[in-house]
A and B are shown apart, each in its own frame.
Chain A
Amino acid sequence: MTLLSIELILFKLSLAFCALCTFGYLLSLLIKRVMLAKASTWVLMIAFGLLTVNLLTAFINSAGPLNLGSRDFFLFCAWAIAGLYLGFQFKTKTRSLGAFISPFILLLMIAAAGQETGKSLLPENLQSWLTTLHLAFAIIGEALFVLASCAGAMYVIQNGLLKHKKLGKMSRLLPSLHDLDRINHLCLLWGFPILTIGIIAGAVFAGMAWNTLWPTDPKIIWSLAAWVIYGFLLHQRLAIGWRGSRMAVLSCAVFILFLLSFFVVRFCFTTLHDFI
């Protein structure tokens, strides 16, 4: 059996497990049973393990670390989000958060399935260790913001239930406000510096390749805007003491805004980042 076929089998398996855990998580919300969410977390853990091995084989298979396949790019995104979420599982008991995270992971996996296997992500002239660094950090940073926003979305729901004095099954299933706020806080706190490093790496590469740090590119402007707004949120949180429902609502709103603008940029403009 060739390494490539192993990679393919691993990919299919992890896709199946991701689908299974997404289904489990969503069902747990529907029938309001924590047990199912717990089981789904285990399934996600298996999926994460498979993804890790899958990425490793892809890494060995590829021509070198600088030549990331475009499928692997999406896999890496899914892997980062799953890993970070599972990391939070150890800290807080927020299993039902998975119902919000796992659909994202599944979507990324499906996007990965849509990519050709052999195709490399970056055009040859852009391949460099700096771009790899740029990609990796940007992905992890964005993944943390995805988590922050998912926690924010759950916070908004739980907050609404508690404000309306409805302590029903749904409220019991969702994590406590404090835990959700903490996840939001930690994700912003870590996501911001990581994204910063990612952006700097990109800028340095741009400086070397095109002799300008900030090529005028819609996607770069979009990313800078995201960086500034997340920085603003983090500042308000740490210095002014914005927390709880306001932070939750804002993180959700900002996230939706960026998701929309991402698609607009992706399909309406040609950019230097067209490979994503």
Chain B
Amino acid sequence: MILLIGLNHKTAPLAVREKLFAGCEEKQNLLSDVLLLPGVQEVLYISTCNRVELVCVMDGEKETIQGAKRFLSQSGGLTDQEVADCLYVYRDRDAIRHLFRVTSSLDSLVMGETQILGQVKEAYRQALAQNATGLVLNRLLHRSFRTAKRVRTETAIAENPVSVSFAAVELAKKIFGSLVGKKIVLIGAGEMAELASVHLIGNGAEEITVANRSEAQGIAVAEKFHGKAILLENLDAAMIDADIVISSTGASGYVVTEESVRQSMRKRKNRLLFLIDIAVPRDIEPSADSIENVYLYNIDNLQDIVDENMKGRKKEALKAEGIVEEEVIHYNSWIKELEAVPTIVSLRAKAEGIVRQELEKSIGWMQKLSEEDREKVDNLVQSVVNKILHAPVAVMKEESSEVSSKGIVEAVRQLFRLDE
């Protein structure tokens, strides 16, 4: 049985997630501890800032589930109430589906984000290193990576940016093509403006100039980006060379007026200029947008793009759920087939045993035959046995993957007296 137990951002508040996360991180031998629980055969431990989950392969039912639950609640020091409210337990098909949804980032806070796949891969690497996984989990994880890849390539779920700073980067690319060598002027400082700068630089933008009212603050921000700092008074000169201007000051009036943009456009020979105004109240006079070759986006414009993209991702998520379901069915039938495997193996072993016995018995008269003829008899017997076994084995596989292995396996064991 596959069991998935844990909590995530949807079921547990941050305080509970933190407690469990910290508790589990403290345990040096978490995986081997779980393996010691009764009935547990394989285990994987996934933890990110949004989720802590254990995936186990186990035999036995209630006791082992209780054991795993107890293990988690003790590790995180969770109260009974918290366990009841926050922990979810998925079994078999549901567990497979949940893991596939997690790796495909359908269960993430920001749907379609790409980090989670790396995190699950890392968790799997750790489990592999400690020999905590086996046949079932290995296949499950590989299948989940495959699912994630399919979701990524067959749907547009990760395509359009869903954060303001990435939306700014996308816009910049639509204006400038490549951002390599583009110059940024950052007016004021703020988390979002700095984040946008980081992403722009990550995409090739090179020079960054920080304009600030206070020199000391400007230098502090500029140092982060290896840029230079200027005083706000000298902004007009800096705008002549700039390609992208990001503004987020706390000023109550306009820091950049339409007139100043107009003048700088003349001096920069009408080269394209991308103005991003993240400040509230606004820093850049809105009418500057009417100037030719100037593209002014304020925080609402960017947010609208993000909202639109989010809607798009939700639509794509429906397609992704379909892919996940397909993969779940695929894996599930494999695992059910697996239940018939021991019986198939013993059936084959029994048949081989009989063949060997009978050949040994016939050794007397077979000696009269030539080497070549003996080989022919050998092959003949083997192929008769294989042909006879082929149908029961195939039916057993089919029946187990499509319905259940229980009835057919029992029947085969009885018919061929495999348990004697």
Does B170 belong to the interface (CB within 8 Å)?
A: yes
Asked if A244 and B174 make an inter-chain contact with CB atoms under 8 angstroms apart, the answer reads no
Cross-interface CB contact of A178 among B160, B170, B175, B305, cutoff 8 Å: B175
- Could you say which of A50-58, A96-104, A160-168, A186-194 contacts chain B? A160-168
A177 to chain B, nearest CB (A): 5
Residue of B nearest to A247 (CB): B270
Asked if A244 and B270 make an inter-chain contact with CB atoms under 8 angstroms apart, the answer reads yes
Does A261 belong to the interface (CB within 8 Å)?
A: no
Give A178 to B244 CA distance when docked, in angstroms.
Answer: 14
Asked if A243 and B177 make an inter-chain contact with CB atoms under 8 angstroms apart, the answer reads no
Q: Which residues of B contact A123 (CB under 8 A)?
A: none
B260 to chain A, nearest CB (A): 18
Asked if A165 and B305 make an inter-chain contact with CB atoms under 8 angstroms apart, the answer reads yes
Asked if A244 and B167 make an inter-chain contact with CB atoms under 8 angstroms apart, the answer reads no
Does A242 belong to the interface (CB within 8 Å)?
A: yes
Give A167 to B301 CA distance when docked, in angstroms.
Answer: 10
CB within 8 Å for A178 and B177 given contacts A162-B171, A163-B289: yes
For chain A, the count of residues having a C-beta within 8 Å of the partner chain is: 21
Residue of A nearest to B273 (CB): A244
Cross-interface CB contact of B305 among A167, A176, A177, A245, cutoff 8 Å: A167
Give A175 to B178 CA distance when docked, in angstroms.
Answer: 11
Give A161 to B295 CA distance when docked, in angstroms.
Answer: 11
CB within 8 Å for A167 and B177 given contacts A241-B269, A243-B271, A245-B292: no
Q: Which residues of B contact A172 (CB under 8 A)?
A: 160, 174
Residue of A nearest to B306 (CB): A167
Asked if A176 and B176 make an inter-chain contact with CB atoms under 8 angstroms apart, the answer reads yes
Chain B 295-308 near chain A by CB (<8 Å), digits 1 or 0? 10100010011001
Give A176 to B305 CA distance when docked, in angstroms.
Answer: 17
A-B contact count (CB 8 A): 55
Does B117 belong to the interface (CB within 8 Å)?
A: no
Q: Which residues of A contact B175 (CB under 8 A)?
A: 162, 176-178
A248 to chain B, nearest CB (A): 10
Give A154 to B305 CA distance when docked, in angstroms.
Answer: 22
Asked if B176 and A244 make an inter-chain contact with CB atoms under 8 angstroms apart, the answer reads no
Asked if A163 and B295 make an inter-chain contact with CB atoms under 8 angstroms apart, the answer reads yes
Does B213 belong to the interface (CB within 8 Å)?
A: no
Give A217 to B332 CA distance when docked, in angstroms.
Answer: 81
B91 to chain A, nearest CB (A): 41
Cross-interface CB contact of A243 among B173, B174, B293, cutoff 8 Å: B293
Does B102 belong to the interface (CB within 8 Å)?
A: no
Q: Which residues of A contact B292 (CB under 8 A)?
A: 244-246
Q: Which residues of A contact B171 (CB under 8 A)?
A: 162, 167
Q: Which residues of A contact B272 (CB under 8 A)?
A: 177-178, 181, 244
Q: Which residues of B contact A246 (CB under 8 A)?
A: 270, 292
A59 to chain B, nearest CB (A): 39
- Interface residue ranges of A119-154 to B (CB < 8 Å): none
- Interface residue ranges of B143-188 to A (CB < 8 Å): 160, 167, 170-171, 173-178
Q: Which residues of B contact A175 (CB under 8 A)?
A: 177
CB within 8 Å for A92 and B177 given contacts A162-B295, A243-B293, A244-B293: yes
B288 to chain A, nearest CB (A): 12
Q: Which residues of A contact B167 (CB under 8 A)?
A: 167
Asked if B293 and A245 make an inter-chain contact with CB atoms under 8 angstroms apart, the answer reads yes
Give A242 to B265 CA distance when docked, in angstroms.
Answer: 11
Q: Which residues of B contact A176 (CB under 8 A)?
A: 173-177
Residues of B within 8 A of A (CB): 160, 167, 170-171, 173-178, 269-272, 289, 292-293, 295, 297, 301, 304-305, 308
Residues of A within 8 A of B (CB): 92, 158, 162-163, 165, 167-168, 171-172, 175-179, 181, 241-246
| Chain A to chain B contacts (Cβ below 8 Å), 15 pairs | A158-B174, A163-B295, A167-B305, A167-B308, A171-B174, A172-B160, A172-B174, A176-B175, A178-B175, A178-B178, A241-B270, A244-B292, A244-B293, A245-B293, A246-B292
